[in-house]
């Protein structure tokens, strides 16, 4: 009964800690840079900025300039020759830390979508950004595609913030298991204590019984009294 109350109080404080972590809402800015070169060497060119005002609510503002005619041509060439398009996302959090993530998609898929892409921002259960990836929502696979330049002018990017859902569950389970183990160990310990207590008790009892037996046998008054 007492250990059950203990478990409940520990669990409720654990829930409070988790809730306060989730309540802490962060913001972040992401600088998007892309590489449009046909050769393997990446040359990062500014593509735009994304400001996420609330990581919890996933509120983001996307600011991207239209591609220059030269950039449109480069992207078209990438798509025609079935090369990869790469984006680097440089994340700066409100706490000032900076991390970057690189995503790769097939250039022809991006071109066929007419530059309609999605940026997926994944958080861990403490609300920290652990991944940023660019995806094109298309089931078609292409092996190179020619897309007219006027379709490759401007990105329309949607931002999705994905909260961690499975994060706290393994932690809680581990914690409960640990409590269970401690409780079992304690119970075993108590049983052991009882046994050693009885053993100790018998060590005092047995000599006492022997002493009483001897003393009563050697006591001459006892038979006389009967």
Ligand X SMILES: *[C@@H]1O[C@H](CO)[C@@H](O)[C@H](O)[C@H]1NC(C)=O
- Taking 3-state DSSP, the helix, strand and coil percentages for the chain, each rounded to the nearest 5, stand at 45, 30, 25
Kindly state the DSSP code that residue 73 receives in the 8-state scheme.
Answer: H
Minimum CB distance to ligand X, residue 87 (Å):
14
Binding ligand X by CB under 6 A: which of 21, 37, 42, 49?
Answer: 49
Binding ligand X by CB under 6 A: which of 140, 158, 191, 216?
Answer: 191
- Window contacting ligand X (CB under 6 A); options: 58-66, 82-90, 127-135, 140-148: 58-66
64-73, Cβ contacts within 8 angstroms, sequence gap of 24 or more: 64/32, 64/154, 64/155, 64/157, 66/153, 66/154, 67/152, 67/153, 67/154, 67/155, 69/149, 71/36, 71/45, 72/149, 72/152, 72/153, 73/149
User: Of 60-119, which residues contact ligand X (CB under 6 A)?
Assistant: 63-65
Minimum CB distance to ligand X, residue 188 (Å):
11
Q: Does 194 bind ligand X (CB under 6 A)?
A: yes
Q: Are 166 and 99 in contact (CB under 8 A)?
A: no
Nearer to ligand X, 31 or 99 (CB): 31
Nearer to ligand X, 47 or 106 (CB): 47
Minimum CB distance to ligand X, residue 29 (Å):
8
Q: Does 196 bind ligand X (CB under 6 A)?
A: no
Backbone Cα Rg of the chain: 36
Sites of contact with ligand X (CB under 6 A): 31, 46, 48-49, 63-65, 190-191, 194
């Amino acid at each position: 009964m007492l250990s059950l109350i203990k478990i409940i109080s520990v669990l409720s404080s654990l829930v409070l800690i988790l809730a306060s972590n989730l309540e802490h809402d962060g913001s972040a800015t992401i600088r998007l840079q892309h590489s449009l070169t046909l050769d393997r060497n990446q040359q990062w060119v500014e593509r735009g900025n994304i400001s996420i005002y609330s990581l919890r609510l996933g509120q983001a503002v996307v600011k991207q300039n239209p591609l220059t005619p030269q950039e449109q041509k480069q992207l078209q060439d990438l798509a025609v020759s079935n090369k990869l398009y790469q984006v680097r996302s440089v994340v700066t959090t409100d706490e000032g830390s900076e991390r970057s993530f690189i995503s790769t998609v097939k250039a022809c898929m991006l071109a066929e979508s007419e530059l309609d892409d999605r940026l997926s921002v994944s958080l861990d259960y403490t609300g920290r950004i652990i991944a940023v990836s660019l995806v094109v929502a298309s089931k078609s696979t292409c092996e190179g595609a020619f897309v007219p330049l006027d379709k490759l002018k401007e990105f329309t990017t949607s931002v999705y913030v994905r909260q961690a859902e499975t994060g706290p569950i393994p932690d809680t389970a581990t914690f409960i298991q640990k409590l269970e183990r401690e409780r079992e160990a304690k119970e075993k310990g108590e049983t052991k204590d009882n046994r050693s207590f009885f053993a100790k008790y018998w060590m005092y009892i047995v000599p006492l019984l022997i002493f009483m037996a001897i003393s009563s046998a050697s006591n001459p008054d006892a038979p006389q009294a009967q």
